[in-house]
Amino acid sequence: MPNRRQFLKDAAATAGVVFTGCHLLNRKAHAQTATAGRRPVMVGGRRVITIDVHAHVIVPEAEALMGIKTPSADASVIEGSMMADRFQRMDEWRTDMQALSIRPIWYTLERDLVAKVNHLQNERLAALCAAHPERFVGFASVALQYPEMAAEQLEEGVKKYNLRGAAITGQINGEELSSRKFDPFWKKAEELDCLIFMHPAGIPELDKRLAGGGYLSNVIGYPVETTIFLSHLIFDGTLDRFPGLKICTAHAGGYLPSYAGRSDYGCVRSPSSCTGAKKHASEYLRQLYFDSIIFTPEGLRHLVAECGAGQIMLGTDYPFPWSTTTVDQVFQTPGLSDAERRSILGETAARLLKIKV
């Protein structure tokens, strides 16, 4: 496998920065950028590096390969003025770092094309993260329609490109990710001890029901897809087959964390439906991770009560304006200790994403 250190050195040099080591982050870098207009987040007198696990990015050249023309003003692009805008918003929102992900829209592509698309994306994202190590880490793009290939891409992403896991959606061309055909990918993710960030893309089968007012395809469709994804991983035994998996779902895990009692009781009502899981559904919440995009301090308090503060990480959905006060929300949430606040704001993400702060 090509040398990661050399790749990152070249990438950073191309971007006009100096590569300083495998662990690209250090206190000095944070201290330097913290004085450039950012308001550092302090908890109990201690500085916390806040890490946003839900931030979108697009690589226009990769979209072009798929026949998509990216609007020049798309805020998901990180080039030119979009870069400055992103840094400014991050400072305003008080997020020191973003874990960048590209939403998968390549699951229907044939093997050669998707390999090109994903390779380009992973290379570009790696170069971007190497150029701005105090602000970005990235998730790899993987072609889950070819599970063995996705496993290889994940390994290359982590080992060669210094990416910290992969970004996926909740189903692959109508197939649930709990299907045994995806086990090679889950096995590799567990082996690499990296974070898998799942972002829903909606449920095409529900488009007709969710049409009309209320933006239901997103508002309801996304959390339902996430709930289905997690429920299959639980009840089809994927989380038991790979207990070391680290999976973070977007939008606070959809409806599952707030309604897991029904999932548990479903197994009382219909025990024969629940032979695939070793534990109650609610118990798996303590081995899954969730972003904090749940909109209210009371919602976050309840998520903490169901899942534990150590399972929750800051999320903003950048650049989409769903949550611009996500840091404030952590401070407004009742009942959290300073240690729990630090955990949600950045410490858990730093550990899972292997960020040295």
Residues at the interface with Zn ion (CB under 5 A): 317
42 beta partners = 47
State the minimum distance, in angstroms, from the CB of residue 148 to Zn ion. 28
**Beta carbons of 251 and 291 less than 8 angstroms apart:** yes
Name the minimum Å distance from CB 202 to Zn ion: 12
Residue 317 or 347 with smaller CB distance to Zn ion: 317
Nearest approach, Cβ of residue 125 and Zn ion (Å): 16
C-beta nearest to Zn ion: residue: 317
| Choice between 218 and 287, CB closer to Zn ion | 218
Cβ 103 to Zn ion, closest distance in Å?
7
When the beta carbons of 133 and 200 are compared against Zn ion, the nearer one is: 200
CA angle (146, 249, 204) in 5-degree steps: 60
CB of 56 to Zn ion, least distance (A): 6
Do 101 and 167 form a contact (C-beta atoms < 8 A)? yes
CB 60 within 8 A of CB 70: yes
Q: Token digits for 234?
A: 């639980």
Q: Which sign, positive or negative, has the C-alpha torsion 294, 299, 303, 308?
A: positive
Q: Using the minimum distance from each CB to Zn ion, give the nearer residue, 225 or 317.
A: 317
**Cβ neighbours of residue 60 closer than 8 Å, sequence gap 6 or more:** 70, 74, 77, 79
Beta strand 175-176 with 171-172 is antiparallel
In the complex, minimum distance from the CB of residue 52 to Zn ion, in angstroms, rounded to a whole number: 11
Interhelix angle 147-159/183-192, nearest 10 degrees: 20
Q: Which two tokens stand for residue 230?
A: 């997690």
CB of 27 to Zn ion, least distance (A): 30
Question: Which amino acid is present at 163?
Answer: L
Give the span between the Cα atoms of 215 and 164, in whole angstroms: 32
Q: Which is nearer to Zn ion, 317 or 340 (CB)?
A: 317
Helix (H) or strand (E) run with residue 11 in it:
helix 4-14
Q: How far apart are CA 357 and CA 342, in angstroms?
A: 13
Q: Which is nearer to Zn ion, 52 or 317 (CB)?
A: 317
In the complex, least distance from residue 335 CB atom to Zn ion, rounded to whole angstroms: 27
Q: Which C-beta is closer to Zn ion: that of 34 or that of 99?
A: 99
Residue type, 233: L
Nearer to Zn ion by Cβ, of 155 and 317: the residue is 317
